[in-house]
């Protein structure tokens, strides 16, 4: 298996370089939009703009792949599963899921928490000799996403995997809002949450924090369209 960083210095250099991308217009914006849980989010992070750049995309794939390899040193992973967004506002991590899967050599699935029929929420074919509800029986899954505000969509993804017999052990998200995320809910599900950047909200800006340090600042312009 390929190791993407020979030193932690290289890893942190890439994280700091990628952090500057948050200052691009439209990546982080002020937007009061309703969450499926009924709450209101005040910030919109558009991962698609980050993934438009091929150099940044390669670095992002490297961060996810490196984190997956760290997890593999502690426990087995049978599948990666990427979240399909419910709102249609962003494509998110699905744009890079195939590249991450290739890098780490682990098959990947799509999880669609918004699907009304529970059996359709994990997109995978029937498995010979197994009932439809046991397609992931005893399989360990790492869930991938691009952004986590409160985490309700991710928790529905965890339950969708459980519905077909699998177990989500870890979730990896690119960005997370620590003031909003329901950390205790993930603890109850026995799921470990990993992230690369925290988004700390100010009145007219967002600080991007990595490993406890502010690495970038983005002005919060109103989102249009």
pLDDT class of 39 with cuts at 50, 70, 90: low
Average pLDDT value for residue range 79-89: 84
What does the block give as tokens for 194?
């990993």
DSSP readout, 193-220? Answer: EEEEEEEEE-SSEEEEEETTEEEEEEE-
Question: pLDDT value at position 57?
Answer: 94
Q: Which of 11-15, 33-37, 128-132, 180-184 has the highest mean pLDDT?
A: 180-184
Average pLDDT value for residue range 72-91: 88
3-state secondary structure (DSSP) of residue 48: helix
3-state secondary structure (DSSP) of residue 92: coil
Name the pTM for this structure. Answer: 0.88
* Domain edges within the chain: 8-125+133-222
Residue 42 confidence (pLDDT) above 70:
no
Q: Which of 84-93, 118-127, 129-138, 180-189 has the highest mean pLDDT?
A: 180-189
Write down the H helix ranges in 21-176: 47-51, 54-72, 94-104, 152-163
Q: What is the DSSP letter of 122?
A: E
Question: pLDDT value at position 202?
Answer: 78
Residue 34 confidence (pLDDT) above 60:
no
What does the block give as tokens for 191?
């799921």
Give the dihedral of Cα atoms 145, 131, 124, 4; nearest 10 deg: 60
pLDDT class of 3 with cuts at 50, 70, 90: very low
CATH architecture of 8-125+133-222: 3-Layer(aba) Sandwich (3.40)
Average pLDDT value for residue range 197-216: 87
Of 48-57, 128-137, 159-168, the one with minimum mean pLDDT is 128-137
Which residue from 115, 215, 202 is spatially nearest to 175, judged by alpha carbons? Answer: 215
3-state secondary structure 139-196: CEEEEEEEEECCCHHHHHHHHHHHHCCCEEEEEEEEEECCCCCCHHHHHHCCCEEEEE
Question: pLDDT value at position 127?
Answer: 81
Question: pLDDT value at position 1?
Answer: 41
Of 6-15, 116-125, 176-185, the one with minimum mean pLDDT is 6-15
For residue 81, give the H/E element and its range. Answer: strand 79-83
């Amino acid at each position: 298996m390929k190791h993407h960083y020979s030193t932690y210095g290289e890893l942190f250099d890439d994280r700091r370089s990628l952090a500057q991308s948050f200052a691009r217009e439209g990546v982080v914006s002020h937007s009061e939009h309703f969450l499926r849980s009924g709450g209101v989010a005040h910030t919109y992070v558009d991962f698609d703009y980050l993934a438009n750049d091929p150099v940044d995309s390669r670095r992002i794939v490297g961060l996810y792949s490196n984190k997956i390899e760290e997890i593999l040193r502690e426990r087995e992973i049978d599948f990666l599963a990427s979240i399909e967004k419910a709102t249609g506002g962003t494509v998110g991590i699905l744009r890079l899921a195939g590249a991450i899967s290739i890098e780490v050599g682990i098959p990947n699935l799509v999880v669609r928490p918004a699907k009304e029929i529970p059996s359709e929420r994990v997109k995978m074919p029937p498995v010979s000799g197994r009932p439809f509800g046991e397609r992931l029986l005893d399989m360990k899954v790492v869930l991938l996403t691009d952004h986590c505000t409160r985490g309700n969509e991710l928790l529905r993804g965890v339950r969708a995997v459980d519905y077909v017999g699998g177990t989500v052990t870890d979730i990896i998200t690119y960005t997370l809002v620590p003031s909003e995320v329901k950390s205790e809910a993930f603890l109850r599900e026995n799921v470990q949450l990993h992230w690369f950047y925290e988004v700390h909200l100010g009145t007219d800006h967002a600080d991007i924090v990595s490993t406890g340090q502010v690495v970038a600042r983005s002005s919060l312009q109103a989102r249009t369209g």
